[in-house]
Amino acid sequence: MKKYLFITLIILLLLPSFAFAQSQGSPDKKAERLQWFADARLGIFIHWGIYAVNGIDESWSFFNGYISHEDYMKQLDGFKAKRYDPDYWAALIKESGAKYAVLTSKHHDGVALWPTKCNELHLKKDLIKPFMKALRNEGLKAGLYFSLLDWSHPDYPNFTRKEKRYEDDSLRWNNFMEFNFCQLNEILDRYNPDLWWFDGDWEQSAEKWDAPLIRETILLKNPDAIINSRLQGYGDYATPEQGLPIKSPEDEYWELCMTMNDSWGYQHNDLNYKSPNQVIRIFVDCISMGGNLLLDIGPKADGTIPDEQVNILQELGRWTNKHSEAIYGTSAGIPHDYFYGPTALSADKKTLYLFLDGNPNGPLMVKGLKNKIKRIWIVGNGTKLNYDIKMKQSWSSTPGILYIDVPEEVLDPQVTVISILLDGEIDLY
Ligand code: GLC
């Protein structure tokens, strides 16, 4: 009898962890969880915080000693968010063609954008809640950025590049961890983000952050949540930053995060914006390598979004709206040996999309395609294109070269997209 009681007890104890492993452990479940993310292709990153007041580097400006911590914190008084319109933000993000957004709930400076009860360093108003609601009303996924490290917290070891609060003090570290979990749980309870974008993990090990427990806490509350990779190995997808990958990354899921100019937050002196054309072509490269683009905006301290940034989002919106079938739910294209440019494949692999950034001097050329072609047309415009196959020899298995005529009138001012419908799944020589 005792024996059975013991076994029952063991089962009861193991059940939650078993259920948890079931919920996220198997690769299939991960694929299911990440499906919306893989299909989304475009997200908008938002760095909004007190650093917009002076227009200086978020957190790094005091960490690197360009301004004292005290003076940095004076920006708290100037951060009024008087013209903050979360519904407009969400509508603009939707218009851009993005399917999700990620807002900085707390950067490395430790200033929470919500009235946290875990410490005193926060804004009075909850700036997060209305935005999460607005995103969800637009049918968009709502993500939050959270800095694991907190350079302002009295129990966090690092203060600035030159100054450390302590070297080794498990009591203080435990205090900090308690605080960190307090905020994490608050965010879970108040907003339950669809996506968690951690940052600042590099200063401590997975063990110190208790990364497995962070992951477990999130997924127990929301088994559908997605977690980025900056959790010392406990995330779901890779986050290359600023540098556009040259070749398809090895990771199955990835997202390039990128600024529009050279700053994450609003900096009035930084006018080094990429043109809409440059942004779209970088986006196209992400699509063709099977990844997402998380494009950053930095709203001003009053909550308005700078004109240059609105302009990029709107032009991106025109382009994504016109070419949606070649963007959402597609997968990485074919190697450049077959077509000298970015490409993508439809989910059923029966349509090949070619991205063309310019006016070709003659017909396009695709090599090594073994399929028969059913039809070729311009995406978002419908014009059927003439094509022809040259060099096909009856005695050779090498496919002929496909030439496609693209008349000048059908070119998009940014990037033209051509759709090739095949007789079956793509089959390359
Ligand atoms: C870096 C920086 C940070 C920025 C982030 C965005 O980790 O520390 O300032 O928010 O990249 O990817």
Give the pLDDT confidence of 362-413 residue by residue, as tens digits: 999 999 999 999 999 999 999 999 999 999 999 999 999 999 999 999 999 9
Distance CA 175, CA 254 (A): 34
- For the domain 331-422, what is the CATH superfamily, name and number? Golgi alpha-mannosidase II (2.60.40.1180)
Concatenated DSSP letters of 389-422: EE---TT--S--EEEE---GGG--SS-EEEEEEE
Strands 373-378 and 292-297, how do they pair?
A: unpaired
Tens-digit pLDDT profile for residues 222-242: 999 999 999 999 999 999 999
Whole-number pLDDT of residue 21: 47
Query: How much distance in Å is there from the Cα of 63 to the middle of ligand 1?
Result: 13
Three-state DSSP state, 381:
coil
Whole-number pLDDT of residue 19: 45
Can you give the C-alpha Rg of the chain in angstroms?
25
Whole-number pLDDT of residue 57: 98
End-to-end CA distance of the chain: 68
Closest residue by Cα to atom 9, ligand 1, is 58
Strands 195-199 and 255-259, how do they pair?
A: unpaired
Residue 146 · residue 106 · CB < 8 Å: yes
Q: Is the C-beta atom of 264 inside 6 A of ligand 1?
A: yes
Query: How much distance in Å is there from the Cα of 109 to the middle of ligand 1?
Result: 12
Distance CA 119, CA 210 (A): 20
Query: How much distance in Å is there from the Cα of 102 to the middle of ligand 1?
Result: 13
Which atom of ligand 1 lies nearest, measured to the CA of 241?
Answer: 12
Q: What are the sequence ranges of the domains in the chain? A: 2-322, 331-422
Which atom of ligand 1 lies nearest, measured to the CA of 59?
Answer: 9
Distances in whole angstroms, Cα of residue 136 to Cα of each of 16, 99, 187, 192: 30, 10, 16, 12
Tens-digit pLDDT profile for residues 112-132: 999 999 999 999 999 999 999
Distance of CA 80 to the CA centre of its chain: 28
Would you tell me how many other CB atoms lie within 10 Å of the CB of residue 206? Answer: 15
Whole-number pLDDT of residue 14: 52
Tens-digit pLDDT profile for residues 27-54: 558 999 999 999 999 999 999 999 999 9
Query: How much distance in Å is there from the Cα of 108 to the middle of ligand 1?
Result: 9
Q: Is the C-beta atom of 202 inside 6 A of ligand 1?
A: no
Q: Is the C-beta atom of 201 inside 6 A of ligand 1?
A: no
What is the average per-residue pLDDT within 288-308? 98
What is the average per-residue pLDDT within 414-423? 98
| pLDDT for 17 beyond 70 | no
Tens-digit pLDDT profile for residues 267-276: 999 999 999 9
Confidence (pTM): 0.93
Query: How much distance in Å is there from the Cα of 199 to the middle of ligand 1?
Result: 7
| pLDDT for 418 beyond 90 | yes
Distance CA 343, CA 233 (A): 31
Query: How much distance in Å is there from the Cα of 243 to the middle of ligand 1?
Result: 13
Q: Is the C-beta atom of 257 inside 6 A of ligand 1?
A: yes
Work out the mean pLDDT of the chain and round it to a whole number: 94
Distances in whole angstroms, Cα of residue 70 to Cα of each of 75, 206, 342: 9, 31, 49
Which of 105, 111, 230, 241 for a ligand 1 pocket mutation test, highest count of atoms within 8 Å of Cβ?
241
Q: Is the C-beta atom of 89 inside 6 A of ligand 1?
A: no
- Beta carbons within 8 Å of 287's beta carbon, 6+ residues apart: 41, 326, 327, 330, 333, 342, 344, 355
Read off the pLDDT band of 18 (50, 70, 90).
Answer: very low
Q: Is the C-beta atom of 149 inside 6 A of ligand 1?
A: no
Q: Could you say which architecture CATH assigns to the domain 2-322? A: Alpha-Beta Barrel (3.20)
Which of 63, 103, 199, 262 for a ligand 1 pocket mutation test, highest count of atoms within 8 Å of Cβ?
199
Tens-digit pLDDT profile for residues 56-106: 999 999 999 999 999 999 999 999 999 999 999 999 999 999 999 999 999
Q: Is the C-beta atom of 63 inside 6 A of ligand 1?
A: no
Read off the pLDDT band of 9 (50, 70, 90).
Answer: low
Which of 258, 263, 264, 295 for a ligand 1 pocket mutation test, highest count of atoms within 8 Å of Cβ?
264
What is the average per-residue pLDDT within 177-202? 98
Q: Is the C-beta atom of 296 inside 6 A of ligand 1?
A: no
Q: Is the C-beta atom of 241 inside 6 A of ligand 1?
A: yes
